[in-house]
Amino acid sequence: MKLYGYWRSSAAYRVRIALNLKQLSADHISVHLVNNGGEQHSESYHHLNPQHLVPTLVDSNELGEFSLNQSLAIIEYLEEKYPKINVLPTNLEDKAVVRGMAQAIACEIHPLDNLRVLQYLVKEMGIDEGQKMQWYAHWIHLGFSALETQLERYAGEYCFGNKVTLADICLIPQVYNAKRFNVPLAAYPNIVRIWENCHQLDAFIQAAPEQQADAS
Amino acid sequence: MKLYGYWRSSAAYRVRIALNLKQLSADHISVHLVNNGGEQHSESYHHLNPQHLVPTLVDSNELGEFSLNQSLAIIEYLEEKYPKINVLPTNLEDKAVVRGMAQAIACEIHPLDNLRVLQYLVKEMGIDEGQKMQWYAHWIHLGFSALETQLERYAGEYCFGNKVTLADICLIPQVYNAKRFNVPLAAYPNIVRIWENCHQLDAFIQAAPEQQADAS
């Protein structure tokens, strides 16, 4: 398998964690989201991912190579193809709760705070740096407050009980991002605790942005 | 089952389509997103959905009632609990492609253009109505251009071949929304064709916002 990603992309970071947890290896290919006007817009990458986003997973079957887009779709694919070490509970209700927490991050926080959105706000909407930081922190606080309430009910060592799941896979990159933008997290004791617990695990440590070959 | 939704919510619209396609019934309970400062912020709804978003599905098992959040997690739950009429392909690669298309809408377009984001842009970022429409259209065009490229490869009568899938379930509410904001769609012939094909089906017709009891 080949994983096209970028060290600081939260979505690529999720897939790296999932690969590590599931003890799968892939060749990591860097798509630099900033250099050269953004390598995700190149002709060659367009064929792999018309959305011009990372990550893309390239895998193969008996018919040849194929590419998959969107981090959660990629992780669900890996989960079904390699079920031995699972990142989703098997019980239907539990699985839905975990997917719901993952999507609360992937659909409600991350899309509003990612690089291309912040760039568009500044360049096209004319907001200033202070407003950009306000925007960034607003969606973190709104999303983390709701998640913290859910974690009071469901969390153990990790987001859902005492086993790492897809919810942790989505949470950790989002916390990494929030820390990078200096958003204070003291109001979210469960989130902070889960962050610390996950960082005891090699799968998370090795997936961290600074550990990637393209980190700069 | 009980579905807490709102006629104009794209995410609730997705779950209504899925229920109809799968020939499942639920009591529909309206959570008015605008009246009374937004009923999704009420104390009673907070217990069902700390994210203060619609939809919420309430179902029960031998232990009693439980609530599920996030439209795609809800639909995946319905898919696994009631697999007879399926909205995901069974082949792993195909399933990942369909989920990828669904998430390209649910994670890249819809979160940027939903009500609370548009309200925040105007009220807190100080952008004007013209900029709001520019913002709205920008994310539709960016997302639909990429999707159109994928549809050239995968579409038949519907987004993925000739069977309705989760990708159509996400696409139709997003097109409904784009039309409501008068975004021109002529550049996306596959999307327009799929919209027309889906509107031949009762499951889509009956799930439309204007058909709901709380439409105004």
**B139 to chain A, closest Cα gap in Å:** 9
Residue ranges per structural domain of chain B: 2-84, 92-203
CATH tag, B92-203? 1.20.1050.10
State yes or no: pLDDT of B35 exceeds 90.
Answer: no
Lookup: tokens for B133: 């429409």
CA dist., res. B28 & res. B8, Å (int): 13
Label each residue of A160-187 as H, E or C: CECCCCHHHHHHHHHHHHHHHCCCCCCC
Lookup: tokens for B123: 């009220």
Which residues face A60 on adjacent strands?
A65
For B9, the enclosing helix (H) or strand (E) is none
Nearest by CB to residue B93, choosing from A66, A120, A138, is A66
pLDDT for position B110: 97
DSSP letters for A22-79: TT---EEEE--SSGGG-GGGSHHHHHH-TT--S-EEEEEETTEEEEEESHHHHHHHHH
Q: What is the pLDDT of residues B85-120, one digit of tens each?
A: 999 999 999 999 999 999 999 999 999 999 899 999
CA dist., res. B23 & res. A154, Å (int): 31
pLDDT for position A34: 85
* CA A95 to each of CA A76, A103, B147: distance values in angstroms, whole numbers, following the listed order: 12, 12, 28
**B89 to chain A, closest Cα gap in Å:** 12
Q: Considering only CB atoms, which chain A residues are within 8 Å of B121?
A: 125
Lookup: tokens for A214: 């393209």
State yes or no: pLDDT of B34 exceeds 90.
Answer: no
Summary mean pLDDT of chain A: 96
Which residues face A10 on adjacent strands?
none
The Cα diameter of chain B in Å comes to 53
Q: Would the ipTM clear 0.90, i.e. be above it?
A: yes
> Is B50's CB within 8 Å of A150's CB?
yes
Lookup: tokens for B168: 């159509």
> Is A95's CB within 8 Å of B80's CB?
yes
CA dist., res. B72 & res. B126, Å (int): 32
Amino acid making up residue A125: M
Do the Cβ atoms of B92 and A77 come closer than 8 Å? yes
Res. A36 pLDDT band, cuts 50 70 90 = confident
Q: What distance lies between CA B171 and its chain's CA centroid?
A: 7
> Is A68's CB within 8 Å of B96's CB?
yes
State yes or no: pLDDT of A88 exceeds 90.
Answer: yes
The lowest-confidence range among A19-23, A62-66, B133-137, B189-193 is A62-66
CA dist., res. A146 & res. A101, Å (int): 10
Lookup: tokens for B95: 């399933």
Torsion sign over Cα B62, B65, B69, B75:
positive
**B149 to chain A, closest Cα gap in Å:** 7
The domains spanning B2-84 and B92-203 adopt the same CATH topology: no
**B50 to chain A, closest Cα gap in Å:** 5
Q: How many CA atoms lie within 13 A of A82 on its CB side?
A: 14
pLDDT for position B167: 98
> Is B74's CB within 8 Å of A96's CB?
yes
Contacts of B107 (CB under 8 A, 6+ apart): A70, A72, A106, A107, A110, A111
Q: Considering only CB atoms, which chain B residues are within 8 Å of A76?
A: 95-96, 99
Q: What distance lies between CA B24 and its chain's CA centroid?
A: 17
> Is B68's CB within 8 Å of A150's CB?
no
For A2, the enclosing helix (H) or strand (E) is strand A2-5
State yes or no: pLDDT of A37 exceeds 90.
Answer: no
Q: Considering only CB atoms, which chain A residues are within 8 Å of B76?
A: 95-96, 99
Q: What distance lies between CA A11 and its chain's CA centroid?
A: 4
Backbone angles phi, psi at A87, to 5 degrees: -115, 5
Kind of pairing between the strands at B64-69 and B56-61: antiparallel
Q: Considering only CB atoms, which chain A residues are within 8 Å of B127?
A: 125-127
Contacts of B28 (CB under 8 A, 6+ apart): B2, B3, B5, B16, B212, B213
Count of CB atoms situated within 10 Å of the CB of B57: 27
* A62: closest chain B residue by CA: B93
Using a pLDDT cut of 70, give the percent of chain B over it. Answer: 100
Nearest by CB to residue A76, choosing from B66, B69, B99, is B99
CATH tag, A2-84? 3.40.30.10
Q: Considering only CB atoms, which chain B residues are within 8 Å of A111?
A: 107-108, 111-112
Do the Cβ atoms of A195 and A32 come closer than 8 Å? no
Q: What is the pLDDT of residues A181-196, one digit of tens each?
A: 999 999 999 999 999 9
pLDDT for position A56: 97
Q: What is the pLDDT of residues A122-165, one digit of tens each?
A: 999 999 999 999 999 999 999 999 999 999 999 999 999 999 99
> Is B77's CB within 8 Å of A66's CB?
no
Count of CB atoms situated within 10 Å of the CB of B174: 23
The lowest-confidence range among A15-19, A99-103, A172-176, B47-51 is B47-51
The alpha helices in B53-164, defined as continuous H runs, are 71-81, 92-106, 110-113, 115-123, 129-154
Lookup: tokens for A160: 């859902």
Amino acid making up residue B130: G
